[in-house]
Amino acid sequence: MKSSNANAVYIIAEAGVNHNGERDLAFALVDAAAAAGADAVKFQTFDAARLASKAAPKASYQKQSTDASESQLAMLKKLELPRDWHYELQAYARSKGIEFLSTAFDTGSLAFLCEMNLPFFKVPSGELTNGPLLWQFAHTGKPLVLSTGMATMSEVEQGLAIVAHALSSSTEPADMDEVWKSWGNPDNRQRLQGHVTLLHCTSQYPTPPHEVNLRAMDTLKAFGLAVGYSDHTEGCLIPAAAVARGATVIEKHFTLDRSMPGPDHKASLEPEELSLMVAQIRALELALGDPCKAPQASEWDTRKAARQQVVAAREIAANSVIVRDDLTTARSGSGLPPTALWELVGSTSRRAFATGEIIEK
């Protein structure tokens, strides 16, 4: 994945299912993402009947934002993104200077997205432990962004082991023993470098601040891979904080109107907020700078004006032995640095100095 700046954070504006099954709304979401300056706008591609059974319950947050008596299957059916919209949305997004992405939730949807030649695939948190589907994702050869919401470190490692197997084998594994044997080969683990990005995530909509746990990003870095953050909090603070902790990818849900019906609108930014988040991240990137600690170009004038130098605290006669009380420091614009004061004590003055005059050796 590439931003206009190779070192910039890649910002994914997650439209998800916030199109509510309305074509015009889907295109309007592309407009909003492009106007905000995001690198990509991402939707979700799934066959509701294959994704959820009739008996599948809704999550608590879904019950709160949709009809609680409605099944998860019925809800998802209304939120499917029709296949024929995909190519139209992709072309429209590119005309707006933004990349079109979509996440697959089943093998049929993944096969369809493969035909669209997307730049990479995002694996949702719920599918991190879905070994067969994860293997298919990885076997496409596309770069992967793996979201880790709800996961333990052992589950993340298992997911990475499955990806490594898929990148090094032409056939699915017979069992997990085969996967772990593959994981033991350093050459197979090396295949993940530059190919997989891990996203820290908390799968709650919205996520309360005390459950964000951004320090887990540092733990994920133990795998030696790029780490980013998929955010479900309210507002823009946490994504910016994630960038400050080294996130290379930020994913954030957005909507045209948080009051719309649907499971994800409440935890989404509205267009003005999305624009603000992107602007804050870009400003933060500039502020992060580089690790070198040195005066900046704009500081040199201030440095000259603000730094003090050694001056005479009182009149000093020529050829006299300088004592501590003869010396002090003041802003003079030039002269000896304050640390030279100690070296001057006990020396002989080469000439007479007036009070406040710059001292030379």
pLDDT in tens, 88-145: 999 999 999 999 999 999 999 999 999 999 999 999 999 999 999 999 999 999 999 9
Domain end: 241, 266, 288, which one? 288
pLDDT at 5: 66
Residues 246 and 111 in one domain: yes
Q: Is residue 261 part of a domain?
A: yes
pLDDT band at 66 (very low <50, low <70, confident <90, very high): low
Least confident interval from 223-232, 260-269, 277-286, 314-323: 260-269
Q: Is residue 4 part of a domain?
A: no
Q: Is residue 2 part of a domain?
A: no
Q: How many domains does the chain have?
A: 2
Report the distance separating Cα 62 and Cα 60, nearest Å. 5
Tell me the range of 1-10, 69-78, 232-241 where mean pLDDT is highest.
232-241
**Tens of pLDDT, residues 304-317:** 999 999 999 999 99
Residues 248 and 358 in one domain: no
pLDDT at 90: 98
At residue 350's C-alpha, the angle toward residues 345 and 353, to 5°, is 80
Closest alpha carbon to 251 in 266, 238, 260, 265: 238
**Which segments within 217-324 are labelled E, that is strand?**
226-231, 249-253, 308-312
Contact 236, 277 (CB under 8 A): yes
Report the distance separating Cα 282 and Cα 272, nearest Å. 16
Residues 265 and 328 in one domain: no
Q: Is residue 99 part of a domain?
A: yes
pLDDT at 164: 98
**Tens of pLDDT, residues 293-346:** 999 999 999 999 999 999 999 999 999 999 999 999 999 999 999 999 999 999
